[in-house]
Structure 1
């Protein structure tokens, strides 16, 4: 391959095959082309879009399955409230088990191939939906979907965190939420207006598209360096940075040193508890994920159409749900822009405080509807309350816990940490979704006021426990966790 003769003459990933450099090209003359990083991050996040279609699936499908008219249902009878709760929540069971498979696999076969393999679960699940004639087949489908979701949400933050530079890691780490809510909106916008079977076809093509695009992206240079594949790691880094071999030399040296140090002390789950810095990182990441789920987001996502129907605002529930989906996508699009400007901590504080207001207002509406009876003066309240809630969730507690997870742990413990945190997320996600109907039966306001209370607690957790990582390198974050502030 000819030497690179100009800083604009950067080869594609498939063309990078040697370390030749041009005459006299200095490293500081080669700016990092962050567009390459975002290209790879977006390609990886197409799998998060598929995750969104799985999470939003129950909102348009639930009313079809519960309808007395079974002409647009694969079943020959309406499902019960208990069956509906299981269909909504079983995805979380698969997702909480999968990380303990996905984490070790990510270290064995690579981040890229684990993400690609997640499509097998998604395709199988949507095929099961097509042939379902009994409720148990839908249960199985949701479990299989959960495995795919667990694979993506364990490994995608690892991949994106490792391919990104310090100055864009917050932005790229926030992309997952944007793509998840875009996938949810896909269901919201299509599901109510097409048949049950048509929606399955609309969903099954997405993992195939995702794999086709992501297949051409490079593997994480950290993973490749850890496997002793220095040539491949260099090629990957050249593609991601848009630089020559000389331009990425210093960063490659640093990655190699970090990986060698990590390999010399391979971490286990016990190291998360025994090591003080890992323990602090686990407290921060685990706490953020817990409060993310305790904010009631899965209840809102899985039951949006039903919530609006029970609120009886006069607005078509399907249209109201699409409005919420559009708000989620718009708000999530802001996060990559502001995450590295305002910082993670500020956005999380705003998110927690404003979510509590939106949830308290929604609870007040349902209280007036059930207890007071006259809601004519507040019939408008549910839509703006949920819009407010979704805006701040999608700019704070939605994306940022995953972004922080991707940057908080050293390489030797990252897969174990990701597995534990992702499983914690989905354990709580299952409990909240499965037992929401029980609270709802007492009165919807109980559930929403409880979620509001957890958001208030989350505010103080962020204020006193969470550290700011804006602009810090992965090594500087480890230094801070170890009490070094230089």
Structure 2
């Protein structure tokens, strides 16, 4: 009968006898079926967005510190507005730029140790303190060592935040909006970058660093006072009543029955995780976990080898080297603005277009942008040609690069990391994955200058472009679509128990 209904239904009349009346014609006889509609819980998603945005103020602070070097290094390399009273060496500039990703490679290990012991919320709060200490050190600086320590501390905080924040947001979000909320990390990070790009060049060194302090302080107060802990962690800790209250607050409801089904699913997931608590080595004993680990690491490695940290840390210097007609700080602000707009677009598109499509579009766009930029520097540096008439080209290349990066490889790898791993290995797997990402970021940032001296900027940007092409192939061949899937459905896909098509058919 089910098949006959599907083939011969010709009318549906809503609102009769407590449900929808569907009419079918079977063997020339009319059949009416009353379909009772399940009442949806009276919940709202508004507070989920509020909670995710408040948590992502930590991501805003990450963006501030990631973009901090762009306006500050030019000041330290001259005597104007230089708090040290002496020009820093090229080697010191390299360490100031690279110590943040080095610290970020260590931060995830702190995150993994703390997030399961004291919770996602308190880990984010404690992880915000190194930002404050680092910015205070900048204000007090009398030697380059202050900056080196500051950058390392801020790096630890960045690594911790980028590990725990996707985990927290992934656990508080409903399946239908998890992808959109996951991209907020990229959006808020780009807002922080734009803050550094826009404020840093036009204020004194001290004023800029004082302004930077405002955001982490606001985060500490608002996140501590108003936002609940992850219900998943509360269930792991055995606090069922607190988990229920947190979920009700996140779903904007005062009725327990509105969250009962979701809470029961969480309990089941947590019970399985606690019964099958795994170590890092156990990841490679399970097909699905191994696949998840390879995919999450692969996406984040390709994110770094696309050259993003070079663009962000040294944007102003790149424009200076390219001889762009506009003031380098103006070009940098334009880049930051484009980042924000593109990141906002990603939040809207991710659940409509899917993660795979946006990642492939991102990889192709970045590859083209890097290749054209490599060609520009080939003409300028390698062949010594006059490129004055092409001074607009580096701006277009970096704008195109930033747009496509923010649409895909910027936000999506972190969102994928937050949903790929089940609860029993999420902390240890996320720790190792984030550490790998930032270690690659450190290597690229620290040694970019050396490599560029050997093969030139044209060769360096050409290598980044090739890496983007390989990233496209990686996504196309290996990454399944996870948009709109529950955490359990994602695990089924990774373990080969169900294909994406099968899952959709089961839903229908």
TM-score of Structure 1 vs Structure 2, range by shorter chain:
over 0.9
What does residue 133 of structure 2 align with?
A: 124
Q: Report how far residue 335 of structure 1 moved.
A: 0.9
1:217 aligns with 2:241: no
The structure with more strand, counted as a fraction of residues:
2
What does residue 194 of structure 2 align with?
A: 185
Distance 2:55 2:395 in 1: 33
Q: Report how far residue 377 of structure 1 moved.
A: 3.5
1:420 aligns with 2:420: no
What does residue 35 of structure 1 align with?
A: 46
Choose from 212, 229, 240 the match for 2:239: 229
Where do 1:94-105 residues align within 5 Å? 94-105=103-114
Q: Report how far residue 27 of structure 1 moved.
A: 8.0
For structure 1, the 5+ residue unaligned runs are 1-25
Asked whether the 8 Å contact 1:118–1:151 carries over to 2, the reply is: yes
What does residue 47 of structure 1 align with?
A: 58
Distance 1:336 1:27 in 2: 30
Asked whether the 8 Å contact 1:27–1:246 carries over to 2, the reply is: no
- Higher-Rg structure is 2
What does residue 492 of structure 2 align with?
A: 479
C-alpha deviations, 1:229-281, integer Å up to 9, x for none? Answer: 01000011111112321110011011001101100111211112222111100
What does residue 386 of structure 2 align with?
A: 374
What does residue 4 of structure 2 align with?
A: none
Asked whether the 8 Å contact 1:27–1:247 carries over to 2, the reply is: no
SS state at 2:257 partner: coil
What does residue 255 of structure 1 align with?
A: 266
Distance 1:113 1:148 in 2: 13
Q: Report how far residue 360 of structure 1 moved.
A: 0.6
Residue 199 and residue 27 in structure 1: after superposition, are their counterparts in 2 closer, same or farther (change >3 A)? Answer: farther
For structure 2, the 5+ residue unaligned runs are 1-36, 503-508
Distance 2:208 2:388 in 1: 36
Q: Report how far residue 439 of structure 1 moved.
A: 2.3
What does residue 348 of structure 2 align with?
A: 337
Where do 1:8-87 residues align within 5 Å? 28-67=39-78, 69=79, 71-87=80-96
For normalisation by structure 2, the TM-score amounts to 0.89
SS state at 1:154 partner: helix
Distance 1:63 1:464 in 2: 43
Distance 2:447 2:434 in 1: 20
For normalisation by structure 1, the TM-score amounts to 0.93
Distance 1:223 1:457 in 2: 37
1:398 aligns with 2:398: no
Number of aligned residue pairs: 459
Asked whether the 8 Å contact 1:92–1:146 carries over to 2, the reply is: yes
Instruction: Report the RMSD for the aligned CA atoms in angstroms.
Output: 1.2
Asked which structure has the greater RCO (Cα within 8 Å, sep 6+), the reply is: 1
What does residue 152 of structure 1 align with?
A: 161
Q: Report how far residue 151 of structure 1 moved.
A: 1.4
C-alpha deviations, 1:100-159, integer Å up to 9, x for none? Answer: 111121000100011111221011001111111111221111111111111111100000
Distance 1:471 1:182 in 2: 26
Asked whether the 8 Å contact 1:28–1:247 carries over to 2, the reply is: no
SS state at 1:420 partner: helix
1:201 aligns with 2:178: no
4+ residue segments displaced more than 2 Å: 26-32, 439-442
